[in-house]
Structure 1
Amino acid sequence: MEHTKPSYYITTPIYYVNAKPHLGTAYCTILADVQARFRRACGCDVKFLTGMDEHGEKVAEAAEKNGFDSPQAWCDSMEPAFADLWRTLEISNDDFIRTTQPRHIAGVQKFLQVLLDRGYIYKGAYDGWYCRPDETYFTDTQVRHHEEDRRAAGEEPADPEHPLCPDCDRPLERIKEESWFFKLSEFQQPLLDFYEAHPDFIQPETRRNEVLSFVKGGLKDLSISRSTFDWGVPFPFDEKHVAYVWVDALINYITALGYGSDDESEFHRRWPAQVHVVGKDIIRFHCVIWPALLMAAGLPLPERVFVHGFLTVRNEETGKIEKMSKSRGNAIAPEEVIDLLGVEAYRYYFMTDVAHGTDAPISWGRMRQVYNADLANSWGNLVSRTLNMSVKYFDGCAPVRPADFDAPSPVRDACAGVFERYAAAMEQMDYGAAAGEVFAIVSAANHYIEDSAPWALAKDPEKADELARVIWSLIEVIRIAAELYEPFMPCISAEVRRRLSLSTEPSTDLAAACVWGGLAGGEPVEKGDPLFPRLVD
């Protein structure tokens, strides 16, 4: 099959199945979904991947704790929790990978064999610190530096037998076991050279600086197998060992494309990925270990890793602001927010009011404020008022496009260049700025209503043409805004287009769809119920 559209491959991390998805999990997934929808609207052949990370010690422990006969049975029970939530949140993923699927296992085993054949892994013994909750290894130097930082901040010294994890501040344990090692130390300079040659590889800039500092501090060889339990992908050349869960997980980005299968055509067409969307807690895995593994295997590196911050909540006991996570037990269920805002406003709030590169506190009050100001009072109000006037003054139809539709006017001028400004922000995954461009034309239209006073024009038969031009112009702004809001609020945008007697399918040429004058008019319009009923306390 010949593919004429440019490929755009975007991924989320695959999510751990030790508990149900929470608000932070959904946040990352919607971040990727908005970009995937935008790229489809721009005519790309998109593959959007998400999935579940099902191996590792933590999963086996969760299965036993919850009374399941096997880790696989536990993973199977968790799949609906993720799949159902993604459907509820209108996630448009094209694939959903599970690391227990045969396609993934075959690809991981091929990758490990390639590393062995190319001389980048060797057998040894691991003796070091291990964070069981995060399944992460740490060197003595990392642990010592973290303790020094804690003491400098005035915190109580940790137990030397169980120092605290540099990532999550929970006790570490010392483990000793036979292991296969990856020669990560050989890739310190190649990685630094790559970062210099590709300054946009890690975004935002603050995260790039963090990775540079880490790599410049020195890299040590990485333990990539476990031999004390068997819930994982067996090494093809040493079945006493299973792949370290993080190595196993990272390889999903290529196994989902058919790497290791009999048909690797999709892999060759789509790899490297355009962007991995990840949280800042897994930046080392995606920006250091994964690129090094790909270099070792002789494969291209992804074009970009976009790193978002944490959603945070206040600990009621300590008063501290903490990362929201399943393992901390402080996660908010997405269903709670959906109950307040509805799905579309949920997506809008987290994508437009939360700065994606930094940590962001969650505030119920702020959610209400954004909903009422942006959606109920502005966007929803514009649609309701305009369509009501169109129905009232033009016998239930939109006015026909006037001959001088392209003449300068406040709303026509506001829409000039809006796609270019919006697209530039979307390219950087600056969704707040992108949505701000749409909000600007919506606001211009609301001001235009007040300034032009259509209700007054309707009283003067000699102003009929002017009234038609005003209402047509307002509907044209609504049409363009619905196109641009589609990645954020797909169902509302489809509903707005339906009320305008337009196709409910999203555009595949967004630039053309945003050109002023696209509305022919003359078709029936429908006011309908309020898109966003105002929230009251």
Structure 2
Amino acid sequence: MSRPYYITTAIHYPNGRPHIGHAYEMIAADAIARFQRQAGREVRFQTGTDEHGLKMAQTARDRGITPRQLADEMSSHFHVMADTLDISYDRFIRTVEAEHYAASQAIWKAMEAAGDLYLDRYEGWYSVRDEAFYEEKELTDGEGGQKLSPQGTPVEWTAEETWFFKLSKYQQPLLDLYASQPDFIRPESRRNEVMRFVEGGLVDLSVSRTSFDWGVPVPGSPGHVMYVWVDALTNYITGAGYPDRPQEFAKWWPADLHLIGKDIVRFHAVYWPAFLMSAGLPLPRQVFGHGFLLNRGEKMSKSTGNVVDPMALAELYGVDALRYFLLRDVGFGNDGTFSDEAIVTRANADLSNSFGNLAQRTLAQIFKNCDAALPEIHGHGDADNALFELVGKTVRETMPAAFEELALSQAVEAWMQAVFACNAYIDEQAPWALKKTDPARMETVLATLYICIAQLAVGILPVIPGSANILLDRMGVDPSLRTPQGIASHWYSPLADGSGFRLAQPVALFPRLELQATEEA
């Protein structure tokens, strides 16, 4: 039996409403989780919100509400977005949960028991927006002499009593980890960045704050709350059952994949494994830092007014059109650009004109020319067998291999090539012309297409689950067969012979989209 698979997104910081980058990460993780379920693995998929820290406290103060009120309000927007975008999460975690407080304090005590925490005074540069500390050598000068972090965010000088974590102790163990497990950090460009950072020398990390109280209390140290990243990273083991459900924890941990944005790779590939090493816990198997989404090639920011609400895009163009575009057009791991025009163009070309039209033509002819019953197969010829081989290999070999490598756009491109092959086949075989000249051959052609379309729907199901499942329902394909192996061609005969299945009047699965203006947040 396959080993269980545990995948996480970063937990999102809800001091503002969700943006398209949050949606992209959730959608990508969801496609991977659905693929792994299709492959027969028991999957745990976790997402959620990271609700502590100075930034949340300041935002709440500015609005005249408590941090918890802000957290409850804003976290709900992320929860709604996940449900709207058809995200098949198993756990939506919030860091305000009592269970998470217990896990955070447990890992703190484990690091303390290892001798890796000590009390001292911190003086240095801190970015409230990044919730991150930076060394002087990492900073640049902005307008008016304002010091900026590597992310371009303002930093301010901070001085307070704080607990420190002996990060410097783990410099060589981290370098040994990267050398022994080259795939621990992906893609390679992120691995190289992290290695250069660690090779440059690690300094001990301030891991508590006394200037505000919105966070997990440090055990045995009144007035101190944990640095938000200690608390935030711990969510991954909270959700796996740490520390109170050891059997569950042994089943799910270590995580197979932490899927995150490239701007927080350092926290996940340096701080997190160091914390786990200190606590004596296994390390995740892989950290993947995906790229940014750019609005018409420009980085999104509230100051420029080009931040796009993913819920608006989903409402205008449909959830599956948005999901398909993001996974088809953005090379996973690289930055990608999007626009309303690009979404409409891609959805119309691939989903409406190619796959949707293929399904509509085929099902309409079966409905009309075969009395809505599944056509019989009267012996396959070379053209039929060639199409079966191409589609079967795509769905059972090429796409799974690409998904395993997290080459999501390559998986979708392979699927599209198989769709093109089916369209070429139907044009060449012209079953509409065979109705009078060779009705038996017509049935074989339509049956061949029916089988191939079902396989293609199963193949693309992780990407566009809503539409794919609707099509498979219309085609009478049992849910138990909706895996690459289950939908192999043998499923067709018993369905045709034994069920008396009849097609309903076919309707368009992907109506053509019209360009509309989205309201930018």
TM-score bucket (shorter structure): over 0.9
**2:403 counterpart (403, 426, 451):** 426
Equivalent residue, structure 2, for 1:279: 261
Distance 1:104 1:237, change over 3 A: same
Q: Which amino acid is 1:113 matched to? A: K
Equivalent residue, structure 1, for 2:88: 92
Q: Partner of 1:170: helix, strand, or coil?
A: coil
Equivalent residue, structure 1, for 2:518: none
**2:471 counterpart (485, 491, 496):** 496
CA contact (8 A) 1:401 1:517 kept: no
**What is the alpha-carbon root mean square deviation over aligned residues?**
1.8
CA contact (8 A) 1:401 1:519 kept: no
Distance 1:122 1:322, change over 3 A: farther
Q: Partner of 1:531: helix, strand, or coil?
A: coil
Q: Which amino acid is 2:156 matched to? A: E
Equivalent residue, structure 2, for 1:188: 171
Task: Tell me the distance in 1 between the aligned counterparts of 2:40 and 2:344.
Answer: 35
TM superposition shift of 1:407: 8.1
**2:224 counterpart (205, 221, 241):** 241
Task: Tell me the distance in 2 between the aligned counterparts of 1:442 and 1:512.
Answer: 19
Equivalent residue, structure 2, for 1:104: 100
Question: Aligned pair 1:396/2:372, yes or no?
Answer: yes
TM superposition shift of 1:171: 2.3
**1:529 counterpart (470, 483, 507):** 507
**2:109 counterpart (102, 106, 113):** 113
Task: Tell me the distance in 1 between the aligned counterparts of 2:10 and 2:254.
Answer: 16
TM superposition shift of 1:5: 5.1
CA contact (8 A) 1:257 1:264 kept: no
Equivalent residue, structure 1, for 2:240: 257
Task: Tell me the distance in 1 between the aligned counterparts of 2:449 and 2:504.
Answer: 14
Distance 1:100 1:536, change over 3 A: closer
Question: Aligned pair 1:303/2:278, yes or no?
Answer: no
Distance 1:406 1:103, change over 3 A: farther
Equivalent residue, structure 1, for 2:313: 337
Task: Tell me the distance in 1 between the aligned counterparts of 2:470 and 2:364.
Answer: 15
Task: Tell me the distance in 2 between the aligned counterparts of 1:51 and 1:115.
Answer: 25
Equivalent residue, structure 1, for 2:190: 207
- CA deviation profile, 1:131-178 (whole Å, cap 9, x unmatched): 1111111011212xx45xxxxxxxxx6545x311211x2321111111
- CA deviation profile, 1:279-319 (whole Å, cap 9, x unmatched): 001010011111111111111111111111111136xxxxx
CA contact (8 A) 1:124 1:179 kept: yes
Q: Partner of 1:15: helix, strand, or coil?
A: coil
TM superposition shift of 1:408: 5.3
Distance 1:405 1:13, change over 3 A: farther
Task: Tell me the distance in 1 between the aligned counterparts of 2:53 and 2:258.
Answer: 22
CA contact (8 A) 1:17 1:75 kept: yes
CA contact (8 A) 2:392 2:455 kept: no
Equivalent residue, structure 2, for 1:458: 435
Equivalent residue, structure 2, for 1:49: 46
Question: Aligned pair 1:177/2:160, yes or no?
Answer: yes
Pairing 1:154-165 to 2, within 5 Å after superposition: 158-160=143-145, 162-165=146-149
Task: Tell me the distance in 2 between the aligned counterparts of 1:427 and 1:288.
Answer: 24
Q: Once superposed, which parts of structure 1, at least 4 consecutive aligned residues long, lie more than 6 Å away?
A: none
CA contact (8 A) 2:7 2:46 kept: yes
TM superposition shift of 1:323: 3.0
Q: Partner of 2:373: helix, strand, or coil?
A: coil
Task: Tell me the distance in 2 between the aligned counterparts of 1:388 and 1:426.
Answer: 33
Task: Tell me the distance in 2 between the aligned counterparts of 1:435 and 1:409.
Answer: 23
Task: Tell me the distance in 1 between the aligned counterparts of 2:10 and 2:87.
Answer: 14
Question: Aligned pair 1:487/2:462, yes or no?
Answer: yes
CA contact (8 A) 1:287 1:305 kept: yes
Question: Aligned pair 1:440/2:417, yes or no?
Answer: yes
Distance 1:118 1:109, change over 3 A: same
Q: Partner of 1:16: helix, strand, or coil?
A: coil
TM superposition shift of 1:518: 2.7
TM superposition shift of 1:218: 1.0
TM superposition shift of 1:355: 1.4
CA contact (8 A) 2:6 2:257 kept: yes
Equivalent residue, structure 2, for 1:512: 485
TM superposition shift of 1:409: 3.2
**Deviation larger for 372-381 or 352-361:** 352-361
Task: Tell me the distance in 1 between the aligned counterparts of 2:306 and 2:118.
Answer: 40
Structure (1 or 2) with the greater helix fraction: 2
Distance 1:495 1:302, change over 3 A: same
- CA deviation profile, 1:386-411 (whole Å, cap 9, x unmatched): 00011111111111344548985342
Q: Which amino acid is 2:67 matched to? A: P
**Deviation larger for 360-369 or 97-106:** 360-369
CA contact (8 A) 2:30 2:89 kept: yes
TM-score, reference length from structure 1: 0.91
Q: Which amino acid is 1:350 matched to? A: L
Q: Which amino acid is 1:210 matched to? A: E
Figure out how many residues of one structure are paired with residues of the other and give that number. Answer: 509
Equivalent residue, structure 2, for 1:291: 273
Equivalent residue, structure 1, for 2:6: 9
